[in-house]
Amino acid sequence: STDLTSTVGYDSIIQHLNDGRKNCKEFEDFLKERAIIEEKYGKELINLSKKKPCGQTELNTLKRSLDVFKQQIDNVGQGHIQLAQTLREEAKKMEDFREKQKLHRKKIELIMEAIHKNRNVQYKKTMEVKQTCCCFFLLCGCTQALFHLPSLSRFWQLFLKLAQTKSALEDSDRSYQQSVSTLEKVREEWQKEHIKACEFFETQECDRINYFRNALWLHVNQLSLGCVQNDEKYEEIRKSLEMCSIEKDVDFFVNLRKTGSLAPAPIAYENYYNAQRNVTPARSPAPVPISRRGPLPTPTSAPGEPDYATVDGYSLV
């Protein structure tokens, strides 16, 4: 501003820096809230995998797949808890960066406040001296005009008054010159410090934008890494499902629970009514062994239902 005592430009810079600090605080709070959500979600996943039954009576290969499934869900929950801790650490780094900038800026602001105060005081003093000097000049002009009065006694009174006025005028003019010179030195010092402060504030703003951008980039990378790690855990589940065999599980159940390979023999009739013991009973037909079923059909889906995930030709539901 052209006004020497104005601080409108400086105030605008300080307001912008405060807004930047507020923006950093908002991102810091965002990370903290996200950490709370991630931690809660992770704990819920762990509780779900440990407490909720999920095919607990299954056998053989499908049972192993379900065990892997629950273990990997638990690992995913642990990963979300670890991500929550990482987000809290990043929020703390942002807080430390913000407070560090605040402390450094406070030193410059105190210097600028002091120099603004000194500048304004000196400017006010100079203007007061200038006003006094101007009044003396006016008074001197009026006194000289009164010399044309005819009274001799009045003339000497005015002459003495004029001498005193000239002396005071000279003193006032010297004081005015000194005030102007002092004000110029103060102005030069203020301008020098103002430029240094602006350069410092610009450096801080560049550092803040760079730090903020990097922090946001790092946050997105952490989320991407979490997704990749989760996908790796889900891939373990898919691999275990590829090892799940319908034929093997059915055979395993049959071998585990089988009671024999022959069907029960037909019940022969015995005639107790005639009590003839020597009657030759009819020969019973030989027991027929039970044959196994042919190959199990591939499960199919009814119209409108999602596709079933096959084993050999693996596909998602």
**What pLDDT is recorded for position 149?**
47
Average pLDDT over residues 211-222: 90
What is the reported pTM? Answer: 0.66
Over 60: is that where the pLDDT of 165 sits? yes
Percent of the chain with pLDDT over 90: 37
**What pLDDT is recorded for position 52?**
85
What confidence category does residue 154 fall into, taking pLDDT thresholds of 50, 70 and 90? low
Domain boundaries, the chain: 7-245
Over 60: is that where the pLDDT of 64 sits? yes
**Of 65-69, 165-169, 203-207, which gets the smallest average pLDDT?**
165-169
Average pLDDT over residues 88-93: 95
Average pLDDT over residues 229-250: 91
Give the distance from CA 287 to its chain's centroid: 77
Tens digits of residue pLDDT in 12-58: 999 999 999 999 999 999 999 999 999 999 999 999 988 888 888 88
State the CATH class of domain 7-245.
Answer: mainly alpha
Bridge partners of 289, per DSSP, are 262
How many CA within 13 A on the CB side of residue 40? 6
What confidence category does residue 197 fall into, taking pLDDT thresholds of 50, 70 and 90? very high
